[in-house]
Every structure is written in structure tokens, then in C-alpha cells.
Structure 1
């Protein structure tokens, strides 16, 4: 058996775990829902939920990883009491990681494609409608979709093939450092545009009135959902990094640092988007439209817009790739833990597997656009996203939670002993009742509401 690799530094652990959590939802979903539900007032509610929902589950996932020294594929086998069936959770986690990459590689490919388009000057002199058409044409072109998906998959597996410290840790550290620098530079540019003040006011001054207008219940659910989904918890994507970290630091403090970094990126993305939208009188819509249509239109009107646009899409590519590399590392560790493969063999087989599994999503916008699982206009990607976001993430999180708090699982004493090993912030003992009895109900509520909104509301 190979000796388990280790992070070379604490910074590496924090940046990579944050890189896994910082994904595209931070940039295209967070600013939009912040705007919709009352700006800064919503951010306050969201932060509360991040601490009471996301943080405990993250600590649990890291604890299971560190105590077992395995990926999610084997960690439950190591820690579960004899005769119990908790290890089935590991198979759900494996499914979740593959499922996430079935559509994430395609979307990450769009980002790199747009870096190329920006540098190439594809948007220069185009009307807003023509800019929108560039995105539509990309989706309709199976060659473009598959080509950039392959580029992302090959590059990210290439990074993983260099080993954990030399590849994953070293390159993610560089990417995350650049990501933060580029984000701050874009933020300074955006807030100093003429007419940016309106957007800043909207984003930074709490408006509880708008929150009430949208309905308090809906606002609270939106904050819960964003806090829950932003950290990619429940599929063991974080647990793997727990298995690579030493016992020098307690896990609650480290998890809090990761949550703060994740929030910093999401929040700063809003400081880039809202002032720019208000400066140029554009509505900051949601989803891909914001990133691929609205923002290129804004960059077109900006002095030096091609440079700012290129920087923005490099930032987006790094956000996407940090997640892809983290999840690929998890997928590789499944193969190495389950079948004892070496890293090269795991890279080769999983690389080919992910390329094949990613095809339905890439082709779902063009060749396979007749497949509309949720009715007119829906795509294969919507189905894949629904399976992971509305099912595997909440169910997986619930199972981690029960495993760490139930007597017939790993149990509270073992969990606390692992979480609190090392210097730093300890997991609060008074939270035991809350995480054992209340938090599971909140996750079940999120799970049911996901179905309610999808099929009934």
C-alpha cells in the first residue's frame, strides 16, 4: 500500500478546500439572489445559515476523512461499527462525484472558450443581440461544446497525474492566488466606474423591505439553499482533503476559514457585477445569461473592456477548474482506495470514463436537444443537476450528520475527539442537541422543498 500523501502546508489545505467549494454558483447565482432578496439584508441571513448549516457538516466530513485516512469510498468501512451498513453512503458519494463532473466539465469548458473568445476579440463592435447570439451559437455547436469539455478534462486530469503535492496542491494554490488577485483588481475597476454608486447602494445597504416583499419564508429558504449548496457537501468531496491533513489543527477553525474564503469570493463577485451593471444600466439577471451575455455587453462598453473581459473569464475558469481538479482528485482516490490502482492507471481509466460520461450534457444543447426531461426548454444538464443538487447533496449530508451523531454510527464521542484534535477552535459542545435533532430536520426540509419547487410550485 502506498503511504498516504499529505498537504505540504496548511495554506494548501485551506486554498484547495475553498477551491472545491468556490464554484460557478458563487459567481452567477449568489449576486443574483442577493439582489432579488434585498441586498445586504439577505447576506446577513445567508451568513447565519452558512455557520449553522454548512459549517457543522463540513467539520463532520473532514473528521470522517481524517480519522479514516481514506476517501469516501472506504472511510465508512473503516469507521462504522461491525455489522452496520453505513458504507453504502460511500457508494452514494462516488455516484455524486461522477454525476457532478458529467455536467461541470461542460460548463467549465464554456469558461475557457470565453477566455479564447475575449482574447480573440469575438465581441468587439457587436450589438447586445449579437453578443447573446455568440452564446446561443456555442451551445448549438456540438464541436465547440465537446472540444472545450475535452480540453478541461485533459488539463485537470493532467494536473492530478502529477501527484497530490506536486500537481493538485501546487497548481491549485497558484490558481487560487491568481483568482483572488484578479477578483480584487476587477472589483476595484468596477466600483470606480461612473454610476457605480447605485449598484453599490443596492448591494451593500440592507433593505429589509425588499426581503419582506419577496416573502420572508421564501427569502429564508433561498438563504438556506445557497448556504447549503455553496460548499458542495455530502458527496465526500471535502472528506478527501481531511484524509490528507495532519492532526496539528482542529477542524472547526479550518472549516470556518474555508467558509469565510468561499463567502469572500461570492461577495466580491457581487462587488464586480452590481456596480458594473448599474454603471451601464443593465439588469443583473441570473444564471448563464449574466455571465455569458450581460457581462460581455458591459465589457464591450468599458474602456479596455477586452482586457477586463479576459481577466474576468480567466477568474471564472480558475473558479471552475479548482472545483474540477478537487473532484477529480476525489474520483482518483476512490479507484486507488477500492482497487489499489496506482495514480497513472486511475488517471487513464477515469479520464476516459469522464470524457464519455460528459458527452450527454455537451450534446444535450444541440444533437440531443429533443431530450427535455422537465418539459419544454429543459436539458440533460437540468436533469443531472437536479439529481446531484436536489438529491445526492442533501441525502449525503444527512447521512454524514447521522453517522457522526448516532450511537449505531461512528458516534458523537469519536466525532468530537477527531474534530477537536489539534490547536485552534473547538466544536461547541452545546451544539450537540442542535446537530443531532434539529439540523437533520432542516436538511429534510431542504430536500422536500427542492421537490416542491421543481414539481409543484
Structure 2
């Protein structure tokens, strides 16, 4: 006899959980850097356009597949596909994508927990710029400390999942997301009041298309398309699981717009934190980890009450990371519950141990395994794992979802729109069928091909 499927207690829980999965580190350290590189506000406008013409349709499809099948992505396509078709072959691949994502995301989450602890403790105070940079280098060279923080992040991610959907995942994610939103508002207000921050604010909020042309218009458009696509974690079913837990009283287009709005709010606010702070203290917002772990700690050192502001910032970053960990761990756990009939707590225990082991290559790639440079000189195992998820599985999965939902060979446009439009709220515009069927797959293919071109031929 089939087990009764768990459901979320509230609509707010669904929106916050879905947003928590979408809101990740890309919103905070990747978005401000790319916005700065490609012309500030001019880039932001193009990014917002692609968020709604590229990210939104695929999010609606993911939620629809989840809600119609009442299954995680590992079984959802099999439940909905026409007889004698092979769409279900992507299901286990998507689940593998969730594991690969966690193989490097847990290491980065561990860094954030470590920096929250060290900032709160005052370990970065009285260090000069080189000293702060050296602190991050020392962390990367210390596998024992990194393992401690990585394991802690996995524990903090799996404990809510083990407690159950409503009493664990939903309840704790509400607190985490509420804390995240409160912290980002406090940090943004503080940055806006910094003396000398106005030039950074102008750069961020006033469009400068001339600066965008200097960096290359096509490159800027591609970067906006990529950021809009990858920020939402679409393509590996990490969102469809929450669609499977909700009722049919609200349309999925309306719910998707709310989730994307929350995700965008966090991304835009992160720019309000970083750009004024960088201009106030005369530093450039750099790319990737150096922005978070070198540039910003140096800024906090110069700021009045910097230890407090630094601690709040790394608490906010830790919340952003944990919200994604909990969401993806729930997807992995639900697969074992649905496909292999494993009890929830046992599935959490086994997968927690598995992800600790699977996370070790990424972590050791900065020290004991640093000789392994899989994508060329200077690259790490983290770069390879990120490439497999961001440039391969997310676009590939999104293309499969689009073809599955919008062509007669899969679930089909009629079934997809009937599910998406069930309930009250915004409907899928019927006039966009040609866009969904033909133009959207081309956008996704461009991203997929460009990702491989940049790595192997660029």
C-alpha cells in the first residue's frame, strides 16, 4: 500500500522554501561582481528581463511537473510521460545533479560558517590587508578545519530534514528565511549610510550603456542570460519537489513570480550592501571567493563597529547557504523515501554520511589534491564540479523539461498549462506557446554551447 504523501502546512512555507532553494551564494558574491563588470544598472535591467523571459517559464514547468506527479524528480517524469517513451531516464540523472551540487556547496557553506565564527570571535581585527588574505589561504590549506566546518554544515542541513517536512524543513526554513531577509535589510541600510558610498550607489543604480559597450554588448547579454538562468537552481528538480507538496488552489505562474521576486530582492539588496561599502573604502568589488573572504573582511576592519557588521554579514551568508542545503537535502531524501521506501531518518543518516565522503575531493582539492587541475592550469576539483552542474546539468535539464512540457512527444502543452493554471492567480499566456516551444529551447542551447565553448575553446 502506498504511503500517504506529506504536504506543506502553508503557502508561505512553499514560497519561502522555494525561494530558499533559489537564493544561494550566486545571488550574493556572483551577482554584484557581474553587475559591476558589465555596467552596473544597465546590466541589472537586462538581467531582470532574462529572469522573467528565461527563468520564469522553466520554474513554472518544474513546479507543474512536481505538482502533477506528486513525486520527486527521480520519479516525476516516469509518472507523467506517454507510454513507451524514455523521458524518465533523466530522473536519476537529475538526482545525481543534486548530489554533485552538494559535493562542492557544502565546502563553501563550511567556509561561511568558519568566517562567521572567526569574525564574531574578533580574529580578523588588527590584521592588515595581506593578513586577511592570508587567513583565507591558511583555511584552504587546513583540511582538518575545513572538514569540521563542512560536516557541521551537513549536520545543520540534514537535521531539519530528519525532523520531517512540516515540523522540520518548513518550520526551520521559515526562521532561516526570516532571519536572512531581516539581516539583508539591516546590512543594506548600514551600507547606504556610509560616508563616500554614494558613488558606488550611482554606479549600481544609474544605467551606463556606454560602459557596457566597452566590455562588449554580446558578452554582457550572455552574462545576464546566464546569471538569470543559474541563480534559480532550475533544471535538476530541486524546485519541483516543493511543487509536489502543495495543493491546486493557486496557479503556478503566480507562485513562481513571487519566488523569483524574493530571489531578485535578495540579489539586488546584496548589491546595495557591497557597492556602497566598496566605494566608501576605495576598493574594487572583486570576483568570486576573494570578494567575500578577502575584500569584505578588510572593509569591515575599517568600519565603525566592523566586528558586529562583519558577524551579521556572515550570519546572513550562512543563512543563504543553509536555506539551499536544506532544500536540496529534502529533494535527495524524498527520492529515497519515494523510490526506495526508506524511512526519512534512515535516509537522512545514510545520505548525510555519503555526502560527507562525496564532499572530500572538493575540499582536499585546495590542499592534499591540489595537483589535480581538471579544467586546466589553476583550476580545482570545485571548478569541475561547478562546471558539471552549472554548465551541463542545469541547462540540459531545463531543455528536457521544456521539450517534455511543450511538445506532443512528452507530457504536452495542454497538460502542462492545465496543471500550471489550476487555481486562482496568473495564468500562462496561451499566445506564448510558440515562444515556449521554439525560442526558449534556443536560448537554453545557446547557454549550453557557450558554457562548453568558454571552457574548452575560449
TM-score bracket, normalised by the shorter chain, equals: over 0.9
For 2:409, what is the secondary structure of its paired residue?
coil
The equivalent of 1:316 in structure 2 is: 317
The equivalent of 2:9 in structure 1 is: 8
Cα distance per residue 1:181-239 (max 9 Å; x no partner): 00000001001010010100010000011111111111110000000100000000000
- Whether 1:158 aligns to 2:126 is no
Q: CA deviation at 1:349?
A: 1.0
- Whether 1:215 aligns to 2:216 is yes
Size of the aligned set, in residue pairs, is 457
The equivalent of 1:206 in structure 2 is: 207
Conserved 8 A contact 2:72-2:241: yes
- Whether 1:278 aligns to 2:287 is no
The equivalent of 2:362 in structure 1 is: 361
The equivalent of 1:348 in structure 2 is: 349
For 1:87, what is the secondary structure of its paired residue?
helix
Q: CA deviation at 1:144?
A: 1.1
Query: Which aligned pairs between 1:206-245 and structure 2 lie closer than 5 A?
Result: 206-245=207-246
TM-score when scaled to structure 2? Answer: 0.99
Distance in 2 separating the partners of 1:221 and 1:227: 10
The equivalent of 1:132 in structure 2 is: 133
For 1:427, what is the secondary structure of its paired residue?
coil
Distance in 1 separating the partners of 2:195 and 2:226: 34
Q: CA deviation at 1:5?
A: 1.2
Distance in 2 separating the partners of 1:236 and 1:142: 32
Query: Which aligned pairs between 1:39-438 and structure 2 lie closer than 5 A?
Result: 39-438=40-439
Q: Which runs of 5+ in 1 are unaligned?
A: none
Conserved 8 A contact 2:156-2:322: no
Q: CA deviation at 1:2?
A: 2.5
Distance in 2 separating the partners of 1:121 and 1:215: 42
Distance in 2 separating the partners of 1:240 and 1:64: 9
Distance in 2 separating the partners of 1:281 and 1:76: 52
Distance in 2 separating the partners of 1:80 and 1:376: 44
Q: CA deviation at 1:405?
A: 0.8
User: Which deviates more, 97-106 or 368-377?
Assistant: 368-377
Deviation beyond 2 Å, 4+ runs, structure 1: none
Distance in 1 separating the partners of 2:349 and 2:306: 40
Conserved 8 A contact 2:204-2:275: yes
Distance in 1 separating the partners of 2:283 and 2:446: 36
Distance in 2 separating the partners of 1:401 and 1:130: 49
Distance in 2 separating the partners of 1:431 and 1:177: 35
Q: CA deviation at 1:432?
A: 0.5
TM-score when scaled to structure 1? Answer: 0.99
The equivalent of 1:452 in structure 2 is: 453
Q: CA deviation at 1:4?
A: 1.2
Q: CA deviation at 1:428?
A: 0.8
Distance in 1 separating the partners of 2:222 and 2:124: 38
